[in-house]
Amino acid sequence: MKISSINKFGLVKIKFSESVVAVGSSYSKGGRFLTEISNIDRSVFEVSVISFYEEMQPLKSFTWETFSLGKTELLLQLNFDYPSYVSDEVNNRD
């Protein structure tokens, strides 16, 4: 998986390298019963933002939640505690 885009509202699009199981149903594969994923949370992976300037790191705190989950992509909504301290330009390096 890889991040394919991040917009100025904190919506992060993550593309999967392979299709994941469709959301909302169960199926049998090789004699095993599998339940499909309908939500991604902190028990699945960690999301972090690293500030270019270490002293700015406390101003980059945020929460996140699954916006949508499909076979080929995941959309996460990042909600920053201090959004004005998060750059929208790479050249600013912060």
Residues in the chain: 94
Whether the predicted pLDDT of 87 surpasses 50: yes
Lowest mean pLDDT among 41-45, 50-54, 73-77: 41-45
Q: What is the pTM of this model?
A: 0.70
Whether the predicted pLDDT of 20 surpasses 50: yes
Contacts of 53 by beta carbon, 8 Å cutoff, 6+ apart: 93, 94
Angle at the Cα of 85 from the Cα atoms of 45 and 89, rounded to 5 degrees: 85
Instruction: Give the domain range for residue 65.
Output: 2-92
Instruction: Tally the domains of the chain.
Output: 1
More confident residue, 20 or 31: 20
